[in-house]
Amino acid sequence: MDCTVLALAMNQQSLRARVHGAGPTGLLAALALAQAGWRVQLLDPLSPAVLRQRSRAYALTHSSRELLERLDLWQPLLPHLAPFRRLELCDQATHLQVPFTLEDLGPRDDHPSAQAVGWILQHTPLMTLLLDRAAGEPAIALALGAPLPEVGPVELVVAADGSASPTRRSAGLYLLARPYRQGCLTVQVRLRGSAEDQAWELFRPEGPFAVLPLGGDAFQLVWSAPADRLRRLEALDPVAFLEALSAALPAALQPEVLLDQPRVFPVGLELAWPLRRGSLVLVGEAAHRCHPVGGQGLNLCWRDVAVLHSLAGRAAAGRLRPSRLPAAYAWRRWPDLLLILLATDALVRLFSNRNRWLLPVRRLALTLLGRLPWLRRLSLAAMTDGPGGSLRA
């Protein structure tokens, strides 16, 4: 073995990280660090069985696909993915409609699995794969549902323990938090009137409403509205809920059967400052949260992981001092975070209201979006890939 290879091997053995939180982002961060050559401790107070149990679906964009491909996770997930090849943007106040299609994505991989505007993935198959991969990875020491002794010092601590992050709080990092007056209700239903590969983003005066395909006639609904109204809806019996749902959807979309129990969640705009302290970095909802409009939440979290993966690989190869990794991570994440948080907040403020003075602005924006292919491509690239994608468009 020559000296360069030996030095690299010794450097990889010495680099250790501890990840707090084993949700989708924490698990992916642990797998990314392990692939980059680090040894990882992964801690979560919840057991694997509890971590798997959640009735939720996620919208994935191409930035998430690219990361999953790099970590050799995309192909195993393909049987569980519901692609959508058309996204219909509808403003119910102006009665304008703008479709986003594959043509608006610009050049992409030739592989058939990449030919979609986005994908919908349910929580349980995702977590099952991530937990199984983490359990089978020799470089990852798991402590799920039980404490893990912290063995020796680590070069990196990753806080991926959610918006209420105890790790962030113990580090004394500031959190800018601005709750919305809206809440978010999620439910899965059988629905008539939509193609199985079509998603909808409906702008209604009370808040955005996403209709996301799960395959066949099953859809995940993400309904934003005033929190007190959503709590009343959550308490309705199934027949009354379906009646209320039918009134909220366009006439072409007809809900037939509830597939799970409606659940209401608070919605807010959150951003931690700074994103690091010492050897600690914040990823995912420990660092930021945005409104679910546009399905940006998990993709933004996983772009955190993509940057962490790249920098961790450089550190393992000796091209970046581990002590400089947190600062480099924070510096690279700011443009994407600010763009997406400001964009989602602007969409909510512009379209979730009954202000008649804003109607001309909304009408102009949607008219231009419908008529100018380059503008659709720019908008979709920014939401799909972050600032880098918008610059390439």
Tell me what pLDDT residue 6 has. Answer: 36
The pLDDT > 70 percentage for the chain reads 92
| Nearest-angstrom CA–CA distance, 158 and 282 | 6
Decide if 162 is inside a domain: yes
Please choose, from the candidates 184, 187, 179, the residue with its C-alpha nearest in 3D space to the C-alpha of residue 345. 179
Is residue 305 pLDDT above 60, yes or no? yes
Please choose, from the candidates 165, 178, 177, 386, the residue with its C-alpha nearest in 3D space to the C-alpha of residue 280. 165
pLDDT tens column, 198-242: 999 999 999 999 999 999 999 999 999 999 999 999 999 999 999
Tell me what pLDDT residue 111 has. Answer: 66
Tell me what pLDDT residue 56 has. Answer: 87
> Higher-confidence residue: 140 or 115?
140
Is residue 149 pLDDT above 70, yes or no? no
Decide if 290 is inside a domain: yes
| Nearest-angstrom CA–CA distance, 154 and 279 | 8
Decide if 217 is inside a domain: no
Domain encompassing residue 322: 3-54+65-78+124-177+268-356+375-392
Decide if 170 is inside a domain: yes
Tell me what pLDDT residue 276 has. Answer: 96
pLDDT tens column, 52-98: 988 789 999 999 999 999 999 999 999 999 999 999 999 988 999 99
Q: In what order do the strands lie in the sheet with 81-84?
A: 57-60, 118-122, 81-84
Question: What's the structural domain count of the chain?
Answer: 1
Spell out the long-range contacts of 112-116 with Cβ–Cβ below 8 A and sequence spacing 24 or more: 113/65, 113/74, 113/75, 113/78, 114/62, 114/65, 115/83, 115/85, 116/83, 116/84, 116/85, 116/197
Decide if 99 is inside a domain: no
Please choose, from the candidates 25, 65, 59, 19, the residue with its C-alpha nearest in 3D space to the C-alpha of residue 42. 19
**Paired sense of beta strands 39-44 and 276-277, if any:** unpaired
Identify the burial level of 142 via C-beta atoms within 10 angstroms of its C-beta, where 0-12 means exposed, 13-18 middle and 19 or more buried. buried
Decide if 223 is inside a domain: no
CATH label of the domain that carries residue 387:
3.50.50.60
Identify the burial level of 375 via C-beta atoms within 10 angstroms of its C-beta, where 0-12 means exposed, 13-18 middle and 19 or more buried. middle
- Establish how many alpha carbons lie within 13 A of residue 306's alpha carbon, considering only the half-sphere containing its beta carbon: 20
Is residue 8 pLDDT above 50, yes or no? no
Other CB atoms closer than 10 Å to residue 143's CB: what's the count? Answer: 15
Report field, pTM of the whole predicted structure over 0.85:
yes
Tell me what pLDDT residue 298 has. Answer: 95
Q: At what angle do helices 24-35 and 62-70 cross, to 10 degrees?
A: 40
Is residue 5 pLDDT above 50, yes or no? no
Decide if 92 is inside a domain: no
Of 76-90, 103-117, 229-243, 283-297, the range with the lowest mean pLDDT is: 103-117
Is residue 4 pLDDT above 50, yes or no? no
pLDDT tens column, 328-379: 999 999 999 999 999 999 999 888 888 888 899 999 999 999 999 999 999 8
Please choose, from the candidates 391, 387, 378, 389, the residue with its C-alpha nearest in 3D space to the C-alpha of residue 104. 378
Q: Which token pair is 312?
A: 């961790």
| Nearest-angstrom CA–CA distance, 109 and 32 | 22
Average pLDDT of the chain to the nearest whole number: 90
Decide if 247 is inside a domain: no
Backbone angles phi, psi at 294, to 5 degrees: 85, 0
